[in-house]
Structure 1
Amino acid sequence: MLNELKTVSYFHAADWWVFFAVLAATAAAAVYGNRRLKKKQGEKPMSVLDYLLMGRQLTLPLFVATLVATWYGGIFGVNEITFNYGIYNFVTQGVFWYVAYLIFAFFIADKVAKYQSLTLPDLTNRMFGPKSAKVAALFTFFYITPVAYVLSLGMFLHMVFGIGILPGMALGTLFTGLYSAWGGFRSVVFSDLVQFFVMCSAVLLVVVFSVGTFGGLGFLKANLPASHFTLTGGNSWMNTLIWGFIALSTLIDPSFYQRCFAAKSPSVVKKGVLISTFIWFCFDLCTTAGSLYARALLPQAEPGQAYFFYSIQLLPIGLRGFFVAGVLAIILSTLNSFLFIASNTLSFDLLRNRFKNIVLSNRISIFAVGLLAIAMAHMFHGSFKEIWLVLGSYFSACLLVPILMGYLSPGRISDRLFVFSSLTSAAVMTAWRFIPKHEVLQAVDPFYAGVAAGLVILLLCRKGEKGYVARIVDR
C-alpha cells in the first residue's frame, strides 16, 4: 500500500530539471508566438482582432492543441469525482460531453461562422440585440471566471512546494495573468501547444506504469467498491442527467466559441472538433483509470489529491518531474484561457463604452478577474463539484435554450424576450433553492425548474415575423 506524501523532499534533482525545462518551454512558446506577430506587422500597435482572436488565423493543428488543452484545468476535480464515484466520472465528465461536441461539429459550427463575431455576447448581440448581449455577458462572465482552476493551481503549489493554498492561488494567478495579458490570445495558443503534448503524455505514463506494476481491470475490481463500476456511482439518475445538460453548455461555451471565431475557416472548426473529441476520449480514459488506481492504493487519501500523490510515487525519477509538469500544464492551459476570456467579457462586452483602449483595459481586467476568482473559491469552500454544478447550471439554464432556438428559428425571439426568458430562469432557479416544496418536488433540481420556466416563456411569446437576425443572415 502506498502512502500519501506530505513534503516536497520526495523529488529528485532530475525531477526539478525536467519540471523547470517544461516551464521554460511553455514560456518560450508564448514569446515565440508574440514575436511572430511583431515580425509580421512591424511597429504597428496590436489590433483588437489580433489581441482577441489571433487575427482569425488559427490553423488546424493549433486549433486542436489549444481546444484540447483548455478543457481539462479542473484535473483535481475530475480526480475527486472518480475517487468518490468511480466510472461515474467518465459518464458525467466524458460521455455526455462527447455527444455535445459532435452536435456542435455537425449542427452548430457552420452557423457560428456566419456571424464573424469576436465574443459570445457579441454574437448574441447580432442574433437578438444589445440588451440580450449584456445579459449574456453577465452570465458568461461568472461562468468563465476561473474559480475551479485558480483553486486547482493553489492546491498544486501547496502539494509541490508546500506553500499555503491562498498564497499559491495568488502567485499562480499572477504568473498566468502576466503572460496572458502580454501577448493576448496568441500567447495563450502557443503556450497551449507545449502544454498539450506534456499533459497528454503525462496521464498516459501513469496508466502504462499502473497496469505494468499492479495489473489491469482485475486488480481494480478486486480493490474497489462495486459501485465504482456502475454508471451512476450511487447517485440518482436525476442528478446524473444534470451533468448531461451542463455538457450541452458546450454548444454555447465561450472558450469553444473563441476558438471557432479565431479559426481560419469553418472546415478547420469541424475537423478540429472531431479530432479533439477522439483525443478527449483517450485522455478521459487515462485520467479515470489513473484515479481508480489511486483510490485502490490510497483509499485514505484526500480525494482530490490522491491521484497526484499516487502518480509521483509510481513513476521513476525524471518521469516523476515530467508528470508534475504535466499536471501544471493541465491547470495553466485552462486557467490562461478562462482568465483571458473573462477579461474579454468584462472589458469588451460589459464595459466597452467606458474605455477607449480595449487592449489596455483587457490587460487590467485579467488581474481583476483573478482576484474575483480567488474570492469565489473561498465562497464555495474549495468544492470542485459545487463550483461546476452551480456556475454551470445557471449559465446553461439561462442561455442555452434561447441561443439554440435563435439558431433554429432566426428572428423569432426578440431582444426583450431573450432578456425576460434568461432572467426568469435565473430567478426561478434561485427561488427553487430556498422555497418550501412538497416532498415529491424536492427531488427536482433547481436547474430543471429554471430551464422549464425559460422554455415556457419562449414557446408562448415567440414572434411570428422575421426579425433582426434574419435580415442580417439574408445579406
Structure 2
Amino acid sequence: MLMTLVDDLVVVALVCLIFGIGAYLSKKSSSSESFFNANHALPWSLCVGTLMASWYNGAGIMGTVGYVCTMGFAAFFLWSIGCHAVRFPLALWVAPRISVKAKGTIPELLRLNYGKFTSIMGAVVLVITCLSISEIACIGYIGEAGWNADKVLAAVIVVGISIALTCLSGLMGVAITDMIFFAMMVCCVCAVFPQMFFEVGGIHGFHAALDTVDPAMMTPLGGIPVPQAIILILLCINIYKDPTFYQRFAAAKSPKTGKRAMLTCFSIFMSFDLVIMMTGIVIRVLDPSLSSQPEVEYIRQVVMHLPVGVRGVFIVGVAGAIISTLDSYYLCGGEIIANDIIYMLRGDKRLSDRNSILVTRISAVVFGIIGLATAFRFDRVYDAFLFIASLSMTLLFVPMIAALMYDGRKTNVAGLASMIVGAASWIFFGYFLPIDIDGYVIDPVLIGLPLSLIAFVIGNRFGVDLTEKRKEDLLAKGTPAEEMVNEDRTLSEEYKKEIRIEWFGMDGALVLLYILLGCFYGYGIINQVEWIIGYGAPVIAMGIVIGVFAKYLTEVASVMNGKNR
C-alpha cells in the first residue's frame, strides 16, 4: 500500500474542506436558477477552472495514459493538436451564442427549433451520456493503485461523495470546488513529471527502450491507425453537444467571458496533454510488454515519486477531477429530467423550484447506481467513453450545430429525421453490419454522421420552420421592436458586440499563444530537445494554472457572497 497515515489524513481534511464549501453554498442555492445556472454569474477564472476540470476527468487523464502506451508520439501530433484545433470554432463562434440561444439545456434549444418530440428524444440520449460510466471505472483504478482497495468499493465511496456535492450546492458549488481540484492535480502531476521523465533517459531513453518493441510509437504519425485517428479527432467535436459545457457557457457572466475562458483553456490543454502523454510513454518504457493495467501503474508511479503528504493532495486532485465530472453530469442530467423531460410530459407545466431540485437529487442517486452497475464492463477506460460519445454524437451533433450556427430555415421534420437516421445507422453499422478495414472495425459514427446530415438536408424541405413561425406570431401580436429584441436577443447590438471576435485583441493573442506552444512542443519532440519536454511543458502548464488560480482567489469570495452578478 503506497498511501500512509499522513496521506490519509490529508485526504480526509481536503474532503472535509470541500464539503464545508458545499454546505455553505447550499444555503444560497434554494432557487432553481442559482442551483442549476449559478445565477449566470460565473466570472472568467471560475469558468476556466470548471471547464478544465470537466475536460480533464478520469477518461481525459487515465484513459489518455492507457491509449498513449500504444500510440506514442502520434497521440500528441494527431490526437492532442487535432482535437483542440477542431474545438476553436466552439470557443470563437459557438460558445458566445450558447448563452443567448440555449438558456441552460440542450433540450430547450432542440424544442425551440425542432419541436417537442425531437427534444424529448435528444433529452433521453443526453441522460444516458450523463451516466459517466468511464469516470466511475477510473476511480476504481485509483483505489486499487493507492490503497490496494477493491475497485468497486472505491468507486462506491467516490460516487457517494459526488452525489452529496451535487445535492448540496448545485452548479456554483461545483464550479468553486472544480478549480481547487484541478489546481491540486495539475501542480502535483507537473511537479513530479521531470523526475519521471529523466529517470528513464528522456526521449533518448524512449527510443532505446521502444525502438525494438514498437518502433511506430516513436514517430510523429505512425502510432495510430488512420481510421482510429479519424475517430478520435471526430469524437473530439463531441464536446459541441456536451450538456455540461453548454451549462457552463450559459452560466458565464457574459458571452465574452465564456469565449475567453475556453480560449485560455486551449493552451493549458496542450501543455498538460504533453505532460500526461509523455508520462504514458514512461509507463510503457517501464513495462514494455504491458503486463499490468497502464491506468493503475500510472497512479502508482506518480504516488511513488511524491513525498508523504503531497501524495494525498495528488489523490484528492485526481479523484477530484473525476468527482467534478460526475457531479457536473449528475447535475446536468437531473436538470434535464426535471426541467425538460418532466416539464414536456406534464404538458409544459413546470415543477416548483423545490420539486425541481428534489427530482435532480433523486436522479443523481439513480445515475450513480446505474453507473456503478456498468462501469467495469469495458477493458479500457477510454473504451467506455468512446461508446457513449459515439452514440450521442451520431444522434445530436447535426441538429445541435444547425440550431446554434444556422439562422436559416430549420424544420421540425429536419431535426427528427436527422436523429432517427443517426440512431438507426449507429445501431445497424455497429451491431448488424460492422465495416472492417485492414482488421480495424470502423466506428459507426463515421457512417452515421454523414447520413444524419443528409437526412437533415432532405427533411428540411418538409415540415414547419418553428423559428420563422415564432417571429410571425410576434408580428401578428403587434409586438414592439424593443420587445422583439428581448424575445430574440440575437437582434440586439449588445449581443453582436459580445460575440465579435477581436483578432487584434485578447482573442487573437490567446489563439496565437496556442499556435506558438504547438510549434514549440512539436520542435522539442521531433528534435529530441529534452528540456522543452521535461521542463518547459510542466512549467508552462503549472504557471498558467497558478495564474488563473490567483485570479480565482480574488473573485471567489464575491461570487460566494452573491456580489458578482
Q: TM-score, normalised by structure 2?
A: 0.75
Please say if 1:303 is aligned against 2:294: yes
Report the counterpart of residue 422 of structure 2 in structure 1: 425
Q: Which residue of 1 aligns with 2:110?
A: 124
The residue number in structure 2 matching 1:66 is 50
Residue pair 2:140, 2:150 contacting (<8 A) in 1 also? yes
Q: 1:205 to 1:440 in 2, by over 3 A?
A: closer
CA distance in 2, matches of 1:440, 1:298: 30
Report the equivalent of 1:283. 272
Structure 1 residue 128: Cα displacement: 2.4
Q: 1:267 deviation in Å?
A: 0.8
Q: Give the number of equivalent residue pairs.
A: 458
Q: Which residue of 1 aligns with 2:6?
A: 14
Which stretch has the larger CA shift, 272-281 or 223-232?
A: 223-232
Equivalent of 2:371, from 370, 373, 382? 373
Equivalent residues of 1:30, 1:190 under 8 A apart: no
Note the alpha carbon deviations across 1:266-294, whole angstroms, 9 max, x for none.
11011100111111112111111222212
Matches within 5 A, 1:256-275: 256-275=245-264
Task: Map 1:439-450 onto structure 2 (within 5 A).
Answer: 444-450=442-448
Aligned partner of residue 410 in structure 2, secondary structure: coil
State the TM-score, normalizing by the size of structure 1. 0.89
Q: 1:68 to 1:146 in 2, by over 3 A?
A: same
Say whether the 8 Å CA contact 2:102–2:108 is kept in structure 1. Answer: no
Distance, in Å, in 1 between the alignment partners of 2:365 and 2:113 is 31
194, 201, 225: which one aligns with 1:208: 194
1:5 is matched with which residue?
A: none
1:98 is matched with 84
**Contact persistence 1:132–1:418 (CA under 8 A):** yes
Task: Report the counterpart of residue 555 of structure 2 in structure 1.
Answer: none
1:126-275 paired onto structure 2 within 5 Å:
126-224=112-210, 225-231=214-220, 234-275=223-264
Query: Which amino acid counterpart does residue 151 of structure 1 have in structure 2?
Result: A
Answer with 1 or 2: which has the greater Rg: 2
Q: Deviations over 1:88-114 (max 9, x none)?
A: 443565223312331111111232222
Q: What's the offset of the Cα at 1:226?
A: 2.3
Residue aligning to 2:66? 80
Q: Structure 1 stretch 364-373 or stretch 216-225: which is displaced more? A: 216-225
Instruction: Name the structure 1 match of 2:32.
Output: 48
Task: Name the residue aligned to 1:384.
Answer: 381
Residue 3 (structure 1) aligns with: none
Deviations 1:193-237 (A, max 9, x none): 210210111210221222454442222222233222335554421
The answer on whether the counterparts of 2:145 and 2:297 sit within 8 Å (CA) in structure 1 is: no
Cα distance between partner residues in 1 of 2:182 and 2:110: 31
Structure 1 range deviating more: 363-372 or 103-112:
103-112
**Code of the aligned partner of 1:15:** D
Letter of the structure 1 residue corresponding to residue 202 of structure 2: G
Question: Aligned to 1:305, what secondary structure does the other structure show?
Answer: helix
Deviations 1:326-356 (A, max 9, x none): 2222222212212221222223222235655
What code does the residue aligned with 2:132 have?
P
Structure-2 separation of matches of 1:440 and 1:68 = 36
Once residues 222 and 313 of structure 1 are traced to their aligned partners in structure 2, the CA distance between those partners, rounded to angstroms, is: 24
CA contact (8 A) 2:411 2:464 kept: no
Q: How far 1:440 moved relative to its partner?
A: 6.6
Match of 1:317 in 2: 308
Compare 226-235 and 123-132 and name the one that shifted more: 226-235
In structure 2, give the amino acid aligned to 1:113: S
Any conservation in 1 of the 2:18–2:177 contact (CA below 8 Å)?
yes
Q: CA deviation at 1:439?
A: 6.6
> Are positions 1:337 and 2:337 aligned together?
no
The gaps in structure 2 that reach 5 residues or longer are 472-486, 492-565
Q: Which moved more, 1:82-91 or 1:234-243?
A: 82-91
Q: Secondary structure at the match of 2:456?
A: helix
Instruction: Look up the equivalent residue of 1:47 and give its one-letter code.
Output: S
Distance in 1, matches of 2:67 and 2:435, equals 30
| SS of equivalent to 2:228 | helix
2:543 alignment partner in structure 1? none
